[in-house]
């Protein structure tokens, strides 16, 4: 029986493929950067063909590096940047518009109008989300409204909608499979997370024909198989999940109360709430963590739009650094109390503020402020935003716990200074696992479950390995003072005060 898994992690800034063995150990990997297009202020797009070609290329390269044949791969798992919206032709498979990326704010006005018309409460009750341009529904409606003839073609059943998972599945199966999974569906603003089906009233609200939408399956399912010509032999696709939910799975956060936070382009903190869809009183999202054999595990999520992207801005935008990793030594030199606050609200503020009109700022500059202080403030902003989320989560919890441990992953957490400051400012222990590619690992685990390599999640939980635990060591008076400075800075960039 084949024992290896091929995990695809199609992220915002790059596409990765990793081959894992049955113990969850990476055997080979490949990665491609993905171009970001900013055609107007607040717009963010990706090229669908680049997403597809990049995915195909990294899968082939990872397989080649592993020395394995396609026949030795038990299955493929797809994890993906969520919410990003694509519409393509059913006959040709060609997208009719560039992918509108989750960070894109072009539909802020439309969302504000729907909010004023009183639709938010109903939308939140069904989907667990908020009326924000972040989610897919308003992006999909925008494509149908702005690509000539698209709405009529959609009504005639000629078009298909999907988030990146569905688009890749369509291409990987040669146009034979149009499906999504419950975790990805739960990010569209069209999916009733309680009834586990598309919400017809919301489809009417956004004027979207049901024929556009993919059927929704568990995160583990027989999603289809690749034609032999792609990798030399057919490989079944056995799992799909949004990247953040996949990371929760890869971090083995299977018990209610367990929390993970992923630090990539953005930062996404997710707390498992078991079979209860906890409704946040602090503007966090209720979402599907994963669905296995028809059984839903829910989560609350706090989403921050800019985490690693702040470092990218420091590198590419203002060119204060040449590589993100330089930030660690600069912060070590600057220390943690230079008094500078960088609020990276480049595309508005996500949870718990949800302010699409807010914009970024730097506060506390003095004559002796230099590059290292500003870079340090960029790293600190990620930690302060994490505290905003953790506080909201703890206030939501029925029985707040002072024993929270945060499991972290993503490209930023190689930075020891950042993770220590995170533990300090949160006042909780932070654990960094051996495999920080937990998104890919999580979807590989899901595929392995479907392949029968594991019989249940307990087996997966036993595979999780800690690499380093960071204990908080900052005095509480200092923690309080630094965080108060952050709250003050955020208040000053808000559009609705």
Ligand X SMILES: Nc1ncnc2c1ncn2[C@@H]1O[C@H](COP(=O)(O)OP(=O)(O)O)[C@@H](O)[C@H]1O
Ligand Y SMILES: O=P(O)(O)OC[C@H](O)CO
The annotation places the binding site for ADP at: 12, 16, 265, 308, 411, 415
What whole-number distance in Å separates Cα of residue 375 and Cα of residue 19? 35
CB 138, min distance to ligand Y, A: 15
82 binds, among ligand X, ligand Y, none (CB under 5 to 8 A by kind): ligand Y
Q: Which residues of 168-202 are buried (b: 16+ CB within 10 A; e: fewer)?
A: bbbbbbebebbbbbbbbbbbbbbbbbeebebbeeb
Is 264 exposed, middle or buried (CB count within 10 Å of its CB: 0-12, 13-18, 19+)? buried
411 binds, among ligand Y, ligand X, none (CB under 5 to 8 A by kind): ligand X
Runs of H (alpha helix) within 397-494: 416-426, 438-451, 457-461, 476-493
309 to 368, contacts with ligand X by CB under 6 A? Answer: 309, 311-312, 324-325, 327-328
Helix (H, G, I), strand (E, B) or coil at 231: helix
Per-position DSSP letters for 106-162, written without gaps between them: TTHHHHHHHHHTT-HHHHHHHHS--S-TTSHHHHHHHHHHHSTTHHHHHHTT-EEEE
Nearer to ligand X, 264 or 348 (CB): 264
Residues placed in the known binding site for ATP = 12-14, 265, 308, 312, 411
Residues placed in the known binding site = 12-14, 16, 82-83, 134, 243-244, 265, 308, 312, 411, 415
291 to 320, contacts with ligand X by CB under 6 A? Answer: 308-309, 311-312
7 to 36, contacts with ligand Y by CB under 6 A? Answer: 11-12
What whole-number distance in Å separates Cα of residue 327 and Cα of residue 331? 6
Q: Does 251 bind ligand Y (CB under 6 A)?
A: no
What whole-number distance in Å separates Cα of residue 258 and Cα of residue 270? 8
**Cα dihedral 102/302/263/13 (nearest 10):** 0
What DSSP state is assigned to residue 82? S
Q: Does 265 bind ligand Y (CB under 6 A)?
A: yes
CB 442, min distance to ligand Y, A: 12
What whole-number distance in Å separates Cα of residue 106 and Cα of residue 43? 6
Q: Does 81 bind ligand Y (CB under 6 A)?
A: yes
Q: Does 378 bind ligand X (CB under 6 A)?
A: no
CB 314, min distance to ligand X, A: 8
Which has the closest alpha carbon to 86: 169, 171, 188, 161?
Answer: 161
Reading the block at residue 18, the tokens are 């990793």
Q: Does 58 bind ligand X (CB under 6 A)?
A: no
Nearer to ligand X, 178 or 260 (CB): 260
Q: Does 83 bind ligand Y (CB under 6 A)?
A: yes
What DSSP state is assigned to residue 215? P
Q: Does 243 bind ligand Y (CB under 6 A)?
A: yes
195-234 mask for ligand Y (x: CB under 6 A)? Answer: ----------------------------------------
CB 454, min distance to ligand X, A: 25
The answer to whether the beta carbons of residues 383 and 421 sit under 8 Å apart is yes
Select the residue interacting with ligand Y from 133, 236, 264, 350 (CB under 6 A).
Answer: 264
Q: Is 184 left (phi over 0), alpha (psi -120 to 50) or beta?
A: alpha
Select the residue interacting with ligand X from 10, 12, 84, 226 (CB under 6 A).
Answer: 12
Residues placed in the known binding site for glycerol = 82-83, 134, 243-244
Select the residue interacting with ligand Y from 82, 171, 291, 407 (CB under 6 A).
Answer: 82
What whole-number distance in Å separates Cα of residue 27 and Cα of residue 112? 47
CB 307, min distance to ligand Y, A: 8
244 binds, among ligand Y, ligand X, none (CB under 5 to 8 A by kind): ligand Y
Q: Does 102 bind ligand Y (CB under 6 A)?
A: yes
Reading the block at residue 259, the tokens are 């929390």
CB 150, min distance to ligand Y, A: 24
Number of residues that bind ligand X (CB under 6 A): 20
Q: Which stretch binds ligand Y (CB under 6 A): 29-37, 77-85, 381-389, 399-407?
A: 77-85
Q: Which stretch binds ligand Y (CB under 6 A): 262-270, 352-360, 374-382, 483-491?
A: 262-270
Q: Which stretch binds ligand Y (CB under 6 A): 135-143, 177-185, 258-266, 290-298?
A: 258-266
Name residues whose C-beta falls within 8 Å of residue 135's C-beta, 6 or more positions apart in sequence: 83, 127, 129, 187, 188, 189
Query: Hey, how many other C-beta atoms are within 10 angstroms of the C-beta on 13?
Result: 16
Select the residue interacting with ligand X from 264, 302, 350, 433 (CB under 6 A).
Answer: 264
The answer to whether the beta carbons of residues 4 and 20 sit under 8 Å apart is yes
Q: How many H-runs (helices) and E-runs (strands) does the chain carry? A: 17, 23
CB 33, min distance to ligand Y, A: 13
349-368 mask for ligand Y (x: CB under 6 A)? Answer: --------------------
The answer to whether the beta carbons of residues 187 and 268 sit under 8 Å apart is no
Number of residues that bind ligand Y (CB under 6 A): 13
Select the residue interacting with ligand X from 214, 250, 350, 410 (CB under 6 A).
Answer: 410
Footprint of ligand X (CB under 6 A): 11-14, 264-265, 308-309, 311-312, 324-325, 327-328, 410-412, 414-415, 418
- Give the binding site for ligand Y (CB under 6 A): 11-12, 81-83, 102, 242-244, 264-266, 303
């Amino acid at each position: 029986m084949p024992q290896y898994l091929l995990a695809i992690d199609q992220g915002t800034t790059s596409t990765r493929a990793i081959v894992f063995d049955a113990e969850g150990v990476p055997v080979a990997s490949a990665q491609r950067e993905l171009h970001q297009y900013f055609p107007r202020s607040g717009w963010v797009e990706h090229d669908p063909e680049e997403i597809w070609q990049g995915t195909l290329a990294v899968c082939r390269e990872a397989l080649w590096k592993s020395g394995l044949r396609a026949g030795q791969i038990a299955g493929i798992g797809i994890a993906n940047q969520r919410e990003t919206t694509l519409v393509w032709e059913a006959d040709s498979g060609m997208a009719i518009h560039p992918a509108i990326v989750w960070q894109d704010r072009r539909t802020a006005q439309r969302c504000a109008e729907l909010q004023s018309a009183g639709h938010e409460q109903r939308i939140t009750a069904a989907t667990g989300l908020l009326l924000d341009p972040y989610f897919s529904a308003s992006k999909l409606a925008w494509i149908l409204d702005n690509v000539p003839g698209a709405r009529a073609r959609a009504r005639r059943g000629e078009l298909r909608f999907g988030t990146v998972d569905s688009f890749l599945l369509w291409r990987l199966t040669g146009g034979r499979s149009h499906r999504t999974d419950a975790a990805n569906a739960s990010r569209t603003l069209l999916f009733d997370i309680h009834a586990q089906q598309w919400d017809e009233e919301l489809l009417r609200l956004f004027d979207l024909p049901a024929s556009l939408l993919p059927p929704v399956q568990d995160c583990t399912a027989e999603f289809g198989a690749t034609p032999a010509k792609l990798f030399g032999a057919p490989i079944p696709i056995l799992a799909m999940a949004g990247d953040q939910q996949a990371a929760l799975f890869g971090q083995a956060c299977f018990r209610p109360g367990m929390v993970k936070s992923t630090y990539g382009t953005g930062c996404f903190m997710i707390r498992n709430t078991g079979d209860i869809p906890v409704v946040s009183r602090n503007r966090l999202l209720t979402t599907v963590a994963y669905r296995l054999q028809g059984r839903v595990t829910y989560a609350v999520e706090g989403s921050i739009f800019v985490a690693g992207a702040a470092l990218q801005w420091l590198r590419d935008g203002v060119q204060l650094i040449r590589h993100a990793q330089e930030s660690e030594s600069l912060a070590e030199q600057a220390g943690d109390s230079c008094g500078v606050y960088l609020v990276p609200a480049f595309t508005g503020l996500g949870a718990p503020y949800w302010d699409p009109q807010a914009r970024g700022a730097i506060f506390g500059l003095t004559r002796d402020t230099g590059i290292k202080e500003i870079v340090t403030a960029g790293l600190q902003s990620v930690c302060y935003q994490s505290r905003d989320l953790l506080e909201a989560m703890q206030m939501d919890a029925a029985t707040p716990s002072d024993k929270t441990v945060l499991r972290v992953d993503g490209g930023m957490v190689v930075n020891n200074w950042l993770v220590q400051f995170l533990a300090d400012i949160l006042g909780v222990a932070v654990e960094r696992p051996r495999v920080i590619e937990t998104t890919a690992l999580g979807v590989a685990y899901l595929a392995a479950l479907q392949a029968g390599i594991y019989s249940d999640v307990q087996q997966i939980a036993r595979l999780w390995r800690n690499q380093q635990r960071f204990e908080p060591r900052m005095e509480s008076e200092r923690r309080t003072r630094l965080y108060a400075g952050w709250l003050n800075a955020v208040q000053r960039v808000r559009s609705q005060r």
